[in-house]
Amino acid sequence: MAEIGSLPLFLETAVAAAKRAGEIIHKGFFETKNVEHKGLVDLVTETDKTCEDLIFNHLKQKYPEHKFIGEETTAACGTMELTDSPTWIVDPLDGTTNFVHGFPFVCVSIGLTIGKVPAVGVVYNPILNELFTAIRGKGAFLNGNPIKVSSKTELVKSLLATEQPVAQNWEEASCASDE
């Protein structure tokens, strides 16, 4: 079982993988993309697949006994199971639609769970050069500087951003009032 004392090393490995994948994303961001559809609305590019392979290979070299769940392979094939074993969960290009349309809010997302509990997280936007990192119980950081949640207690005094989900099954998305 993974030792809690290993968390800084796990984070270092995840950051290295995210930065290597970020180089590929940054290069591809300014090039013409080969886009495919997975389902009705989800997009996937060669960059997604290349980055997931790179990240998994990097992590597997260091931690061959760990388990892996990835959006483009494991999850897409419907074969994902979160166990008590250390498990890396990867979205190699989070924001593929933004990537395809040249909107710079894209990132590499890598998380590690141990005992089904999130232990390490890395989110890296290579276009804006923003690296978010966290170790359970040790705080979260942006480019090495501590970050925290807002102290605002009223929604009217806050900034709220959200994404409108796109229904993938239009029949299920119809209003319940039709019944």
Instruction: Provide the pLDDT for residue 160.
Output: 85
Q: What is the pLDDT of residue 154?
A: 93
- pLDDT at residue 161, rounded to an integer: 83
Strands 107-114 and 117-125: antiparallel
Question: Strands of 87-94's sheet, edge to edge?
Answer: 67-70, 87-94, 107-114, 117-125, 130-135, 140-142, 145-147
pLDDT of residue 174: 39
Q: Tell me, what's the pLDDT at 122?
A: 98
At residue 98, the 3 state secondary structure works out as helix
Q: Which contiguous run of DSSP H or E holds residue 70?
A: strand 67-70
Place of tokens 């170790």: 135
pLDDT recorded at residue 91: 94
- Which regions in the chain score pLDDT beneath 70? 1-4, 39, 41, 74-79, 165-179
CB 65 within 8 A of CB 35: no
User: CA 111, CA 69: separation in Å to the nearest integer?
Assistant: 10
Q: What is the pLDDT of residue 172?
A: 43
On the CB side of 130, CA atoms within 13 Å amount to 14
What is the C-alpha to C-alpha distance for residues 129 and 124, in angstroms, rounded to an integer? 7
